[in-house]
Amino acid sequence: MSDKVIIFDTTLRDGEQSPGCAMTLAQKRRMAKSLGALGVDVIEAGFAAASPDDFNAVASIAREVKGPTICALARCNDNDIREAARALEEAEKKRIHVFIATSPLHREHKLKMTKEQVIERAINGVKLAKSFVDDVEFSCEDATRTEKDYLAQVVEAAIEAGATTINIPDTVGYTTPTEMFETIDFLKKHVGNIEQAIISTHCHDDLGLAVANSLAAVEAGARQVECTLNGIGERAGNCALEEIVMAIKTRANHYGLDTGVRTEQILPSSRLLSAITGSVVPRNKAIIGDNAFAHASGIHQHGMLSHPETYEIMRPQSIGRVDTSLVLGKHSGRHALVDKVKELGFDAASEDIDRIFADFKNLADRKKHITDADIEALVVGQANTG
C-alpha cells in the first residue's frame, strides 16, 4: 500500500458551507491559489449546480489553478453532474465527486428511497460522471450510520460503475476512532473490488473527533483525507488540514506516511482564510493558534532555552511561524527575563538582574501584557513598578 496520503481540501466547498464563511468569487480564487502553493493534491472548488456564483468559482479555479486536481461536487442527478463537468472543462486535472446518502435515516426521511433505488442512483451517477472524466469520486453520505453490509454493497457497485475514489464520510461527526477503523477494515475485507479504488475519509467535528477519526481511517488503510483549513465547515467544522498534516508529519515514526503539503505555507494560508472570512482562530487552536508555540511558565521557558524539544514537538518554522515566543508574565522566571534583556541589546552581565527581576515580578502582578518597552524601562530603572 502506498505511503502517500492524498490531501483533498474542501475549504472552498464544505468549509464555505459554515455559517459566516461565505466567500466571494475573487476571495475563492485567491484562496485556491494559496491552497495550490500549500501543495494540496485536490481542491474541491465548489458545488457547480448550487448557484451561478458557485459555477463561476469552479470554472475560474479550473482555468487558473494548475497543479492540484480541481474537483466539483454533484448529487447523483443528471443536471448536477453535467454542470460539474461543464464547470471543470478547462481544468488541467479534473475530478467529479458524486454523492448520495446511504443511511436508513436519510433513505427514509430525506430521500424517500429504498436501498435498491439508492444503489441504482449511485451507479447511474458514477457512470454519467465517468462519461465526462476518468477521475470519479463517490461518497456515501452519512456512511458511519449506514448498515455495514449495505455500505459494502453500495461501495462495490460504485467501484464497478467506475469510481476511482470511495469516500466514507462521517457526515454528522458521530463515529469514534475505533469504530472508524473497523468500518474501513470491514470494507477492505468485504468489498471484492476495493483494491481498484482509493479509500477516502471525510470527518466532521461534532464530538471533537474529526482528526482522530481521520487518522484511524488512515491507519486502517484510507489513503485520502478530506479536510479544511482552520477546520471550518458545517456546524462544528471538518477535519482541520493543519492538524492532520502535522500529525502525519510529526508522527511519521508512528504512521510511516507522508503528505505532499509544503507545511511552511500552513500559517500564511490559514491567516489568509481568517482574514477573508473574518473568522478568528482561537488562541489555543492546535498548530495555528497564537498560543500554539508560546510558553509562559518559568519552568517551560527555562526548558525551551536549554533545548527546544523539551516542550515543543514541532518547530514553529515548519508551519511558517517566525519563532517560538517566550511570553513574559507573572509565571516567567529569571532565564526568560535575562534572555529578553539580551535580545533587547543590553549587556545582561553588567545589569543588576536581581533588582530588574524583582521589579519585573511586581509589574507582572499588575499588568497582563508585558511589552519590550516595559522591559527596557525596567532595565534603565524608570518603570513604575510600585
Annotated binding site for Mn(2+): 14, 202, 204, 238
Please identify, using beta-carbon distances, which residue of 167 and 265 lies nearer to ligand KIV: 167
What x-and-dash track marks residues 4-43 binding Zn ion by CB under 5 A? ----------x-----------------------------
Residues within the annotated binding site?
14, 202, 204, 238
**Residue 342: which residues within 8 A CB-CB, separation 6 or more?**
348
Q: Provide CB contacts within 8 A for 80, sequence distance 6+.
A: 47, 48, 49, 74, 98
Cell numbers of 266, please?
A: 500552513
Please name the helix (run of DSSP H) or strand (run of DSSP E) that holds residue 294, with its range, or none.
strand 294-295
Kindly list the residues in this chain that would bind ligand KIV in the complex (CB under 6 A).
Answer: 14, 99, 139, 141, 167, 169, 171, 202, 204
Instruction: Give the one entry of ligand KIV, Zn ion, none that residue 99 binds, where binding means its C-beta sits below a cut-off of 5 to 8 angstroms depending on kind.
Output: ligand KIV
Quote the least distance from Cβ 147 to Zn ion, whole Å: 21
54 binds Zn ion (CB under 5 A): no
**Of 34 and 200, which CB lies nearer to ligand KIV in the complex structure?**
200
How far from each other are the two terminal CA atoms of the chain, in whole angstroms?
66
Retrieve residue 19's grid coordinates: 455559517
**Smallest gap, in angstroms, from Cβ of residue 169 to Zn ion?**
6
**Alpha-helix residue ranges (DSSP H) falling in 94-209:** 104-105, 115-130, 148-161, 177-190
Smallest Cα–Cα separation from 94: which of 124, 74, 122?
74
Cβ neighbours of 294 (radius 10 Å):
15
**What are the backbone angles phi and psi of residue 318, rounded to the nearest 5°?**
-70, -15
Sign of CA dihedral 329, 330, 332, 334: positive
Minimum gap (Å) between residue 74 Cβ and Zn ion: 14
Q: Looking at beta carbons only, is 14 or 80 nearer to Zn ion? A: 14
Please choose which of ligand KIV, Zn ion, none residue 141 contacts, taking the beta carbon within 5 to 8 angstroms, the exact cut-off set by kind.
Answer: ligand KIV
How near is the Cβ of 86 to ligand KIV at its closest, in Å?
Answer: 20
Grid cell listed for 125: 451517477
300: partner contacted, choices ligand KIV, Zn ion, none (Cβ within 5-8 A by kind)? none
Strand pairing report for 42-46 and 294-295: unpaired
Residue number with CB closer to ligand KIV (140 or 370): 140
Q: Binding partner of residue 139 among ligand KIV, Zn ion, none, CB under 5 to 8 Å per kind?
A: ligand KIV
> Which residues contact Zn ion (rule: CB under 5 A)?
14
